[in-house]
Structure formats: structure tokens, C-alpha cells
A and B are shown apart, each in its own frame.
Chain A
Amino acid sequence: MNPPSETGSPSPNPAESPRYRTAGYDSDAQLLEVSLGPQHPSTHGVFRMNVALDGEDVVKLKPVFGYLHRNHEQIAEQVSYLGSMPYTDRLDYFCSLSNNWAYAAAVEKLAGIDVPERAEYIRVITSELTRLVNHTSFLGFMLSDMGAWGTVLMYAFREREKILDLFESLTGSRMMGNYMRFGGCRCDLPPGWLEQARKVVDGYPAFLDEMESLIATNEIVISRTQRIGRLPADKAVNGSMTGPCLRASGVNYDIRKVDRYGIYDRFEFRVPLGDHGDCYDRLMIRFLEMRETLKILRPALRDIPEGPVMDPKARQRNLRPPEGEAYARVEAPKGELGFYLISDASDKPYRYRVRPPSLINLTLLEDLCLGEKIADVMVILGTIDIVLGEVDR
């Protein structure tokens, strides 16, 4: 005699319960299809998911993107090399300076341009500050996806604002930097900028401690993220995932270490790795990365040499790189950001291709969500950290 189970099902064998019988999905008679988005507050932009639900469990998930498609690659093939620099700001609008760097690096490789040392330092400093901006606002958005509307987001934005002020006084714009140029940076640091940046960097650990004590041991956060959306390492590698999400699954792959591009070989920092690859790991790895970023920023702000910020021989206008192709990548806050260019010796690229980390990380969304509850889909999507400007281009 079997005791009745909690759900009142007469059979103790869950495989025979009506709920699990539909899990073969050969008939969708009992599945409920929900279209999440595109105007959903948690989809981080205009992004839609077609979800098939069995009860509350996700059995199928189809991401639908393209709502924000702007023909970025085709436009870049119509304007000069310099002209697509401002467009790269608009890929991942949280990290415009990393995008600038990746594009500038690709053109520099193509045309064989050198970068002066001071400019290399500025690039490292700005793109690490960008990483702070991105991860900080990620935490805020993540928590508001989980229902903590406002408070944490405002704390995060308060810190982010300090860095955006730095960006504004350096590049002229808070988010659309358009700052790097082929062979260096557009202008030198304004007077007093380094001190201001040091002050922000010195104040950051206190903020991180505060955030961490709010999040790391919070019961709600733990129950909503631990063991949710697990991604095993082999699947992450097969899906070409990069960035913090890949490292949360325990794969040691950071392009700053693998390629040692720029001057990253001069700094001591470690690459934090996760154990389980669940949402909690993906959340906490951002904290660890920010602490490592501070370890890069402090010596960089201390050691930055005097000197020019532009290679005087580099042309910006009418740049005609020799025929050939180049691929350059950087470790953007969200993952590997690469630009692939083919030159036919004219002043426009013959082919221009972006490898956006958000889009490629997003392709694994279904694997992460299968079998999870519908309410967790938002959390999982949040931890992947996408920006639709980059996904749709």
C-alpha cells in the first residue's frame, strides 16, 4: 500500500503522474505557451522568449531577438574606418570604452599601427573602470530582477555615477565615449583626473563590502540562485560561452591572461572561478572580478607614465590599410568581444564583423532554463548579463 503523495497523486512513481507524462513533449496538449517580452521589464531591453510551460516548469524556450537590429555591420561597411568608431559605442552601451578598444585594436592590427605607452595605460584604466561600471550595474539589475526593486539598484547606480562622471570629464560623454583612436586615444587625461580616479578606486572596496553583505548571505538571494540554472563546464565550452559566465562554470579562460594583449602582462591579478556554474556562482563571480579589477587599477593609476597619447604617424581620416584581414579581441566585461575586418585597401572595410559576447552567451539560454521554474527564467537571464544593443546590433 503506497501512501498518497503530497500532490494527491495516487501513484508514488512520479514518472507515472500526469504531470510527468507530458514531459515527453510529443504532444503539447497540456503545455502552455507564454510569450515573455518584448516589453517585459526584466528582459533588459526588447527581447522576447517563447516559453512552453508544463505547469510552472519550462520545457521549451525559444529566444527571439532582432527587435533592436540596426544594421551595425552593414553601416560600418559604408562609412570610413574612423566613422564606425562612434557606432561601436552603441553595441554594448554600458561598456563603450571596451568596445572602442576592441575595434581600435583590430584596425591597428590591420594597418600595423603602434600605440604609445601612456595610451596603453589609459586603455587599461578606462576599460577596467568600464568593467566596474558593468558589473556594478549588473548587480543592481540582477537584484531588481529578483524583486528587490530600487534600493540595491540605486546603491549600484550611485557608485556607477562616480565612474560615469570620470568618463564624462575624460571623453565628453557619460556613456558614448567614442574615445579611442587608431594608434592611441583622442585626448589626454584632463588635469586632476588621476587623483579623482584614485579616489573612486579607493572608495570602491567599502562599497563592495556593503553590497556583498547585502547580497551574499541574503536568504532570498540564496534560495533564488543556488542550484538554479546550472551550466556544466563542457556545455559552456561547447556553446562558446565566454566571460564571467564561463568562468563561473569553472573554466579558466580569460583573454587578458590568454592573449596578454595591451599591457596586461604587467599587472598581478587572478582569475576567479566558480565551482557549480549556477546562478549564485555567476552572481558572486562578479564581486570577485571587481576586486581583481581594483588590483589592476591601483598600480595602473600609480605607474602611468607621461608622454604622448597618440602615435603621431597614425592617420585617422582617409585611413587605407593594406589588403588583408585581422581579428582582434578583448576581454570585455561580458566576455570575448572580437572585431573581424577585411580590408580591400580602400577607405572602408570590405567586411566588418563583430563577435558580441552577449549574443553568443544568450544562445545557451535554453539549456540553462530547461526544467527550471518560469520565475527562475528571469533570474537566469539576468545572470547571463546581456545588453540588447549588442545582441541585435
Chain B
Amino acid sequence: MGITAKNFIASYTKPESLITEEYPEEKPKLPENNRNFPFLVFDDDPDAGLRCVSCKICERECPPQCIYIVQERDENGRPVKQPKVFDIDISVCMSCQICVEVCPFDAIKMDQEYELSSLDRFDPLIHDRQRLSKSNEYYHSIHPAEAAAVDAVLAEKAARKAGNKKAADNES
């Protein structure tokens, strides 16, 4: 009884006991590692800058198989390194982050958006390419440390590629 009374009083007075967050008015600050559903990163242009090259590794590795990708083709029917369709069924996705880990191009990352309820059970829960594409700046804003590391790796890769190209040019 004494303990209950102590806790009851503390729950009004002591700041460390005032732990309830008044959710819609007050939003929790999510830790950087928090993950929810995946999104696609684009660099400058939401269409051409999409990092995804449609290699379909994530589609194959996703444990509940909730990613659906169709590769873009140019007018001659040759495949282009862009996804034409990139759908994620977030009613199936279990936020496991395996797609993020297996993607060799750092194209897919975990989002922190959690207000995703919809009135319909089907279509609004299938997020298409347009809805999934988000800018690199947004990625920086939710996972600053991770995004900086990814940028460094990508810059290094680009530099190496440029170096190789230069070397090849010099040789010829």
C-alpha cells in the first residue's frame, strides 16, 4: 500500500516518473536505428537519380516476398538499369531490414514514418515506386550517421570508377 501510494504521488511530481507521452500532440524522438518500412533513395532527380538498378537481389532475398520489381526497358526492348515497377506490400513487410542489408547499391533504406493507416485494406498498403522514392537529404535527416557513412562509401566507389576510366583513357 505504501509503495502504491509512493508511486502514485511520484507519477504526478517526479519528472522521471512522468513517462507518458501525449502522442498526437507530442511525438517521440526516435533513435537513429529505428526502422519501419523500406524506401528508395534517390540522389538529385526523383526519376533518373534513383539509386536502384533493378538487380532484384532484394526481391529474391525478402523473406516474406513482399517486393515486386519489373525492370524498365528502352524503346528497343533492351533492359535499362531502372525499375519500371517497384512495389512493396507493407501489409506483408515485416520490417526486417534484410533488403537493406543485401542491396549492393545502397539504394533501399529503412524509413521511420509510422503514420500509415488507411481506410482501404488493399491498394493504399501497396507502396509504389513513386511513393517509395525519397531524397538522400531525407535519408540524412533520419539516419545521419549511417547516411554519412554510406555517402563516403559511394564517393569512394565513384572516385575509383572515375580513376579506372581515366586509366583506361590514358592507355588507349
Contacts and interface: CB of A to CB of B under 8 A. Distances in A.
Interface of A: 75, 79-80, 82-87, 151, 155, 158, 161, 165, 168-173, 176, 178, 186-187, 190, 210, 213-214, 316-317
A317 to B, nearest CB: 5
Nearest to A213: B3
Interface centre among A158, A173, A214, A316 (most CB of B within 10 A): A173
Nearest to A75: B63
Given A86-B96, A158-B19, A176-B95, A316 B101 contact: yes
A171 B97 CA distance: 10
B35 A169 contact: no
Contacts of B62: 83
Contact of B32 (A75, A151, A190, A316): A190
B32 to A, nearest CB: 7
Contacts of B57: 317
A176 B31 contact: no
A155 to B, nearest CB: 7
Contacts, number: 61
Interface in B116-144: none
B97 A178 contact: yes
Given A82-B98, A82-B102, A317-B61, 5 more contacts: A80-B61, A86-B94, A169-B32, A172-B97, A210-B3
Q: Which 10 A-B pairs have the closest CB atoms?
A: A86-B96, A169-B31, A83-B63, A172-B35, A172-B33, A79-B63, A178-B96, A317-B102, A172-B34, A168-B31
Contact of B61 (A82, A165, A178): A82
A80 B94 CA distance: 16
B13 interface: no
Contacts of B31: 165, 168-169, 172, 190
B121 to A, nearest CB: 20
Contacts of B164: none
Interface centre among B31, B35, B110 (most CB of A within 10 A): B31
B7 interface: yes
Contact of A161 (B7, B19, B35, B61): B19
Given A86-B96, A176-B96, A317-B102, A168 B34 contact: yes
Contacts of A75: 63
Q: How many interface residues does chain B have, given as a range?
A: 20 to 34
B59 to A, nearest CB: 12
Contacts of B170: none
B34 A173 contact: yes
13 contacts: A79-B63, A82-B102, A86-B63, A170-B33, A178-B97, A178-B98, A186-B101, A190-B32, A190-B33, A210-B3, A213-B3, A316-B101, A317-B61
B110 A172 contact: yes
Contacts of A317: 57, 61, 102
B35 A83 contact: no
Contacts of A186: 101
Nearest to A158: B19
A172 B101 CA distance: 14
Nearest to A191: B145
A83 B99 CA distance: 10
A176 B94 contact: yes
Contacts of A84: 63
Interface centre among A79, A80, A83, A84 (most CB of B within 10 A): A83
Contacts of B96: 85-86, 176, 178
Nearest to B17: A158
Given A79-B63, A210-B3, A86 B98 contact: yes
A50 to B, nearest CB: 33
B98 A169 contact: no
